[in-house]
Amino acid sequence: ATLAHLLKYDSVHRTFGADVSVDAGIIVVNGRRIHTTAERNPANLPWGELGVEVVLECTGVFRDKASTSAHLAAGARSVIVSSPGKQMDLTVVVGVNDHLLDPSVHQIVSNGSCTTNCLAPVVKALDDAFGLVHGAVTTIHSYTNDQQLLDLPHSDLRRARAAALSMIPTSTGAAKAIGEVLPHLKGKLDGIAVRVPTPNVSLVDLVATVKTATDVAAVNAVLQKAASEGPLAGVLHYETAPLVSTDYIGCPFSSIVDAENTMVLGGNLVKVLAWYDNEWGFSNRMVDLTRLLLGLPRASA
């Protein structure tokens, strides 16, 4: 009943328009019955019995191949990890490297993170056009459930502080994860996160050195074209309106370029801002990757 209630009513995304009810432990959405389970050991989950083909591993607990393979032992065909993982068969950012995905070979795949999915399309577009030498990334990120609501113990002393009261510098693996998606850029990007007192929508600030001298108009033209055609269409969006974070709640794109704030200094130092709904946008990519593993076209194409 609790899960059904939280599905129906969301503090950020508001009330779900579907009919949601509970029947003997089963969540019913517009007549579709969704089984629920509670099991600490993934190997004991009834995936085979329920006919589950793809598992979305979103607990944050199982993030390496050894532990996530328990879902395969339980009868699933494939597993998608909703964070950067270790020893994954493949790390996929839809629109950037999903052409490498082979469902017959890649059983345990990582979908990266919401920030990696925002950053990678911009990095790919810039690298293809101008050649990326190296870059520094700051993600101005809404607070998440791995922070504390009030000051309480946490392994990261900054995340131990009340999430809704401070700007909180902390770590992010998103920039380094680019090397898993675009191997030739491994070691060329690094970054930090600043958690801020907003519940949803985040902003990537990328500053990169490029090989080929350019200007603002050329950078924006490249990003606009990438957003309108080719594999990044439907994933990358180009926005010229002077919008703020709340305008992007419910936005399905991985990355929305804030064209008004593009900068170029000295021809080779490029700054790009890109927004993302770190909940809704990333959830859309989880759906896309699920479809690709099932041999279906992605919904965002």
H or E element, residue 6: helix 2-8
Mind listing the pLDDT tens digit for each residue in 198-216? 999 999 999 999 999 999 9
**pTM for the whole thing?**
0.95
pLDDT number for residue 299: 84
Class of domain 114-278 (CATH, top level): alpha beta
Active site residue 118: no
CA atoms within a 13 Å half-sphere pointing along the CA-CB vector of 194:
9
Q: Are 206 and 122 in contact (CB under 8 A)?
A: yes
In eight-state DSSP terms, residue 23 is E
Residue 45: is its pLDDT beyond 70? yes
Mean pLDDT of 235-245: 99
Mean pLDDT of 21-29: 95
Residue 261: is its pLDDT beyond 70? yes
Which amino acid, one-letter code, is at 62? Answer: F
Mean pLDDT of 109-134: 98
Report the alpha-carbon distance of residue 208 to residue 157 in Å, rounded. Answer: 30
Backbone angles phi, psi at 290, to 5 degrees: -60, -45
pLDDT number for residue 301: 60
Break the chain into its structural domains and give their ranges: 1-36, 114-278
Torsion of CA 161, 162, 167, 170, to 10 degrees: 40
CA atoms within a 13 Å half-sphere pointing along the CA-CB vector of 277:
18
Mind listing the pLDDT tens digit for each residue in 75-97? 999 999 999 999 999 999 999 99
CB neighbours of 102 closer than 8 A, spacing ≥ 6?
none
Distances (CA, A) of 252 to 61, 279, 285, 299: 26, 9, 8, 11
Give me the catalytic one of 58, 114, 118, 251. 114
Mean pLDDT of 115-126: 98
Mind listing the pLDDT tens digit for each residue in 135-193? 999 999 999 999 999 999 999 999 999 999 999 999 998 988 999 999 999 999 999 99
Confidence of residue 300 (pLDDT cuts 50, 70, 90): confident
Mind listing the pLDDT tens digit for each residue in 216-237? 999 999 999 999 999 999 999 9
Report the alpha-carbon distance of residue 19 to residue 14 in Å, rounded. Answer: 14
Confidence of residue 298 (pLDDT cuts 50, 70, 90): confident
Mean of all residue pLDDT scores within the chain: 96
Residue 37: is its pLDDT beyond 80? yes
Q: Are 246 and 142 in contact (CB under 8 A)?
A: no
Per the model's pLDDT, the better-predicted residue between 25 and 105 turns out to be 105
In eight-state DSSP terms, residue 99 is G
The closest of 71, 77, 78 to 43, measured between CA atoms, is: 71
pLDDT number for residue 242: 98
Confidence of residue 287 (pLDDT cuts 50, 70, 90): very high
